[in-house]
Amino acid sequence: MSDTDTRDPTSLRTPIVAVLGHVDHGKTSLLDKIRGSAVIEGEAGAITQHIGATAVPLDIISSIAGDLVDPDDFDLPGLLFIDTPGHHSFTTLRSRGGALADIAILVVDVNDGFQPQTLEALDILRRSQTPFIVAANKIDTVPGWNASEDSPINDTYESQSDRVRQRLDERLYEIIGNLSDEGFSADLYWRVQNFQRNVGVVPVSAMTGEGVPDLLTVMMGLSQRYMKEEMEIDVTGPGVGTVLEVKEEKGFGTTIDTVLYDGTIRADDQLVVGGMNEPIVTDVRALLQPRPLAEIRTESRFEKVDEVSAAAGIKVAAPELANAMAGAPVRVVRDRDLDDVIEEVQAELADIAVDTAEE
């Protein structure tokens, strides 16, 4: 925690991923599947459970994806999934006026097709100009499906009968047609050359894990190819984040669960946090991460850490947080002028107020 940080100040952070889609189309199951696969593939501790988010490092993605991913092709460190799916969290969580998520997965049930919340989600993605891919979920429910757990889509596709393949194709093309009706040119992901122009559709099953290797590969490729510049941050600089949730925590008082998307936050930092009436100026009392399950006995569920760098989910305990708001900005002051930081936070709060009024 010294001021002479020897790390390369410019480094690439993890892209932040949000999952959207109609209720019951499988958002939660898909996140659970990704988390579960990552735990199975990883050595203990390889997947890090953050507060409100799950980090899946590149080496885990490449072991899940097998031949689909060569880790040498990538220098982004992995993907950080926000644990709360749905568009409420997507629209309330912002960064500097834009969406907090850098990239999104829109989940569509292949049987149920487009539904009202699918359209709402598309509208939100369009307005926030968030790149996304479509997970065409529940492919295992196609009548006659022959499941092969956790397989890449190509392998599992090969092992289906012609009838089944045809049924799946029909459903996938219907989704592609629906996307096109909404003004998004889309295709099956392996046919997409330019993911900036076309939306890739990835057939998956959150139940059997089929297509999950493809989904992770496409997300990683898309981020690496089109978002690398935005991921370049000053890791050692003063942290910038967004409040996910304000929570009372036994022994710590009011805490803010925060997604950090730039810089570092340290246990001795001064913070400015967006409040209901005005920015709150406070000092970090503790930075808390979930304690690994194996270590939980009578101790706290959390462990204190000295510092965290973006992108990460962290619980911050500090005085005066009772009026903090979900969706509000958090900024570390460090060696800057406090009034300037307060002004920045005020400006961001004003942006949020305008956006909320428009909705």
274 annotated as a binding-site residue: no
Nearest distance, CB of residue 210 and ligand GDP, angstroms: 8
113 annotated as a binding-site residue: no
Nearest distance, CB of residue 86 and ligand GDP, angstroms: 8
Nearest distance, CB of residue 10 and ligand GDP, angstroms: 37
85 annotated as a binding-site residue: yes
Nearest distance, CB of residue 41 and ligand GDP, angstroms: 19
Between residues 145 and 252, which has the closer beta carbon with respect to ligand GDP?
145
Between residues 117 and 198, which has the closer beta carbon with respect to ligand GDP?
117
Between residues 189 and 195, which has the closer beta carbon with respect to ligand GDP?
189
3-state helix/strand/coil string of the chain: CCCCCCCCCEEECCCEEEEEECCCCCHHHHHHHHHHHHHHHCCCCCCEECCCEEEEEHHHHHHHHHHHCCHHHCCCCEEEEECCCCHHHHHHCEECCEECCCEEEEEEECCCCCCHHHHHHHHHHHHHCCCEEEEEECHHHCCCCCCCCCCCHHHHHHCCCHHHHHHHHHHHHHHHHHHHHCCCCEEEHHHCCCCCCCEEEEECCCCCCCCHHHHHHHHHHHHHHHCCHHHEEECCCECEEEEEEEEEECCCEEEEEEEEEECEEECCCEEEECECCCCEEEECCEEEEECCHHHCCCCCCEEEECEEECCEEEEEECCCCCCECCCCEEEECCCCCHHHHHHHHHHHHHHHHHHHHHC
Between residues 34 and 65, which has the closer beta carbon with respect to ligand GDP?
34
141 annotated as a binding-site residue: no
50 annotated as a binding-site residue: no
Nearest distance, CB of residue 83 and ligand GDP, angstroms: 11
Between residues 26 and 329, which has the closer beta carbon with respect to ligand GDP?
26
Between residues 118 and 217, which has the closer beta carbon with respect to ligand GDP?
118
Nearest distance, CB of residue 161 and ligand GDP, angstroms: 19
83 annotated as a binding-site residue: yes
33 annotated as a binding-site residue: no
Interaction site with ligand GDP (CB under 6 A): 21, 23-29, 85, 137-138, 140-141, 205-207
**Sequence ranges of the binding site for GTP:** 21-28, 83-87, 137-140
**Sequence ranges of the binding site:** 21-28, 83-87, 137-140
